[in-house]
Structure 1
Amino acid sequence: MLETLNQKLIVSCQAPPDSPLYEPDIIAAMAKTAIQRGAAAVRIDTPAHVHAVRQLLPQTPIIGLWKQKTPNSQVYITPRFSDAVAIAEAGANIIAIDATQRPRPDGETVPDIIEHIHHTLNKPVMADIDTLENAQFAIDAGADVVGTTLFGYTQETATQTPPGWDILRELAANSPIPVICEGGIATPDMAKQALDLGAYAVVVGTAITGIDLKVMEFQKVF
């Protein structure tokens, strides 16, 4: 599955929960559009959306995740193994998790969750990270692919703006597993730059499917 993503575009098809686009059928239509226009895979949030995409695209690689906010943890991307189970059962091929060392809501650890995903669900894991330290932590924990998804979105990296070119360059040069660039890729030229720096694949979300955020950006000038 991972080999099919090498040097390819992955489109993140997501929408805010308060958006009219949040309906599973609409997310699935976005995903089908992306695949028909040449994307190799899609990244999808929530079991309902993953299920809808799987029904419409039975052969398409899906990186699935479940964003859930809890009062006692800053981890929100597939924070528990039970969330990974739901995503896998909905039809995801690859399970994306927050692989930082921050405390998780039920006290589970990243190594334990990755091991359970491998042995119970028989699925590869995409480790979403923010720093080189956490990337190494995820690699040591057994992740199959690492993504720069959380760069700029954690307390440690909050003062920095994605994409994380420096972390991507360092990871691509030294990581024993594929490195996916995700976050802040706003133009085709930026996607090419990511590939030139060694990215195995590139995830683009807002620049392609983020209608809500794009409208809000334009609205600031009015």
Structure 2
Amino acid sequence: MLIPKGTLVVSCQARADNPLHGPVYMAAMALAAEAGGAKGIRANGAEDVAAIRAVTKLPIIGIAKVWDDRFPVYITPDFDSAARVAESGADIVGIDATPRPRNGEPVERLIARIRHELGREVFADISTLEEGRAAAACGATYVATTLSGYTEETAPRKSAGPDFDLLSALVESVSVPVVAEGRFDTPDLVAEALARGAHAVVVGTAITNPREITKKFVRAIEARAGNGP
């Protein structure tokens, strides 16, 4: 198992509108995460994956976000996008493993091709227990709660913090390692996930997005100012 049990994985990603966007910054972020004790990195796109691979030996979960207004699935929707991140140095390929429409192969075929043709492990992002069971049955190496709150069916969960109910249900229901991901913004929440049986926890924004972290502090200051002395 490439991702050690009971560890932290840091998601090093920055969209084009973020001042930290680009492989140089993401490689530096990955190095900082490794120095802090992270045991894995999640990264988006072949360029970022290659830059991170050049500076660390930590396992990399590579994804490729392919935006298409016609389809809701954008996280590594097809084999070609999976191949690009694998060839750039990803040890594990992350995919959207929900059954939603995609511009690519069905989930079961995509998982099989990544495992057999690319020789990589598969990190299945799901949003429900049924999706997690299906991904595990299709051969996914890891099942992660990443998309809970980010699909139409699960949208109401987004404001409720991490989906611990889904995490616990998956731990009880599948034989593959279950990774907790999504809205983990404090060490206590990470500890809770591990106590509930998570193999590992992925944290992104709370560690690697200074802009959003700054906004959180500013909102707290403004809220206090609005309440008066």
* Structure 2 counterpart of 1:187: 186
* Structure 1 counterpart of 2:85: 87
* Structure 2 counterpart of 1:52: 51
Q: Which amino acid aligns with 2:40?
A: A
* Structure 1 counterpart of 2:8: 9
* Structure 1 counterpart of 2:134: 137
Give 1:71 deviation, angstroms.
2.1
Q: Which amino acid aligns with 1:88?
A: A
Q: Does 1:114 align with 2:126?
A: no
Q: TM-score, normalised by structure 1?
A: 0.95
Q: Which amino acid aligns with 1:177?
A: V
Distance 1:65 1:159 in 2: 25
- Pairing partner for 1:74 from 69, 72, 75: 72
Give 1:218 deviation, angstroms.
3.7
Given that 1:15 and 1:212 are in contact with CA atoms closer than 8 Å, whether structure 2 keeps it comes out as: no
Q: Which amino acid aligns with 1:71?
A: D
The worse-fitting range, judged by mean Cα deviation, of 209-218 and 83-92 is 209-218
Give 1:105 deviation, angstroms.
1.1
Q: TM-score, normalised by structure 2?
A: 0.92
For the residue of structure 2 that corresponds to 1:10, the secondary structure is strand
Given that 1:9 and 1:204 are in contact with CA atoms closer than 8 Å, whether structure 2 keeps it comes out as: yes
Distance 1:74 1:218 in 2: 32
Give 1:214 deviation, angstroms.
2.1
Distance 1:100 1:141 in 2: 12
Q: Deviations over 1:164-190 (max 9, x none)?
A: 100001111221100000011111111
Q: Deviations over 1:137-167 (max 9, x none)?
A: 2112111110000011111111112411000
Structure 2 residue ranges without an equivalent (≥5): 223-229
Distance 2:174 2:33 in 1: 29
Q: Which amino acid aligns with 1:163?
A: P
Number of residues paired by the alignment? 219
* Structure 1 counterpart of 2:157: 160
Distance 1:5 1:184 in 2: 21
After superposing on structure 2, the runs of 4+ consecutive aligned residues of structure 1 that deviate more than 6 Å are: none
Give 1:15 deviation, angstroms.
1.2
Q: Which amino acid aligns with 1:159?
A: P
Q: Deviations over 1:40-68 (max 9, x none)?
A: 011111111000001111x2110110112
Q: Which has the larger radius of gyration?
A: 2
Given that 2:133 and 2:173 are in contact with CA atoms closer than 8 Å, whether structure 1 keeps it comes out as: no
Give 1:219 deviation, angstroms.
4.2
Q: Which amino acid aligns with 1:13?
A: C
* Structure 1 counterpart of 2:216: 217
Percent of aligned positions with the same letter in both sequences?
Answer: 45
